[in-house]
Amino acid sequence: MNNPQLVVVFTDELINLHRGQGMEIYWRDNLVCPDEQDYIKMVSNKTGGLFRLAVRMMQACSTEKSDVVKLVDMLGIYFQIRDDYMNIKSEQYSSNKGFFEDITEGKFSFPIIHSIRTEKYTNQIMNIMRQKTRNENVKLYAADLILKSGSFDYTLEYLKKIETDIYNEIEALGGNKRLSAIMAALSKEVKL
C-alpha cells in the first residue's frame, strides 16, 4: 500500500477523534453541559471520525469515488444518540454494559443534555451528574426526571429524523439493501 493519501486520511481523522474526545472530557471534568449543536459536533468528530477513518481509507485504495462522507457522518450521529438512549432504556444493554453508565461516568449524553436544557430539572440532574453515582436508585430517579422532561420522546423523534435522512442518502447514492436492512434492525431495537 504505497499510498500517501492513507497517511493524510489517518492523521485527519485521528485529529478529529481526539478533538471530539477532548470536548467530551472537558465537559465531564468541568461539569459543563454542552448545547445540542456542540454535542452533535463532538459526536461527529468522535464517533463519526472512526466511521470516516474506515471509509476514507477504503476509498483511498478504491476506484469507487462516490462521496459517502455525509452518510457516514449521519450514521455516526445516529449510532451515538441511539447508544445514549439504549444506555438508559434497554434492559439487554443494561445487563451487558450496566444501567445508565453515562451518569456513573459523568458523561453528558443526548437525553441528559436535552433534559438539562429544558430547565425543568436542571439543578437535580446537574447534582446527580456531579456525584457520578453508581447507586441504582439515584440513576432511576435521574431517568424519571429525564422522562418527565420529555427528553426520551425528543431523543426518539431526533433518531427518527436522522433515520429518514439516512435512508434518503442511501437512496441518493444508488441504494444499498444490506445497509437499509441494518438500519431497520437498529431502529427496531429502539422501537422507533
What domains, with CATH codes, occur in the chain?
A: 2-188 (1.10.600.10)
pLDDT for residue 192: 47
Question: How far apart are the two ends of the chain, measured CA to CA in Å?
Answer: 43
Residues 6+ apart with CB under 8 A from 78: 159, 162, 163, 166, 186
pTM greater than 0.85 (yes/no)? yes
Compute CA distances 55 → 7, 51, 71, 77, 170, whole Å: 14, 6, 11, 15, 15
Per-residue pLDDT of the chain (192 residues), as tens digits, is 688 889 999 999 999 999 999 999 999 999 999 999 999 999 999 999 999 999 999 988 888 888 899 999 999 999 999 999 999 988 777 777 778 999 999 999 999 999 999 988 999 999 999 999 999 999 999 999 999 999 999 999 999 999 999 999 999 999 999 999 999 998 888 774
Q: What are phi and psi of 34, to 5 degrees?
A: -75, 165
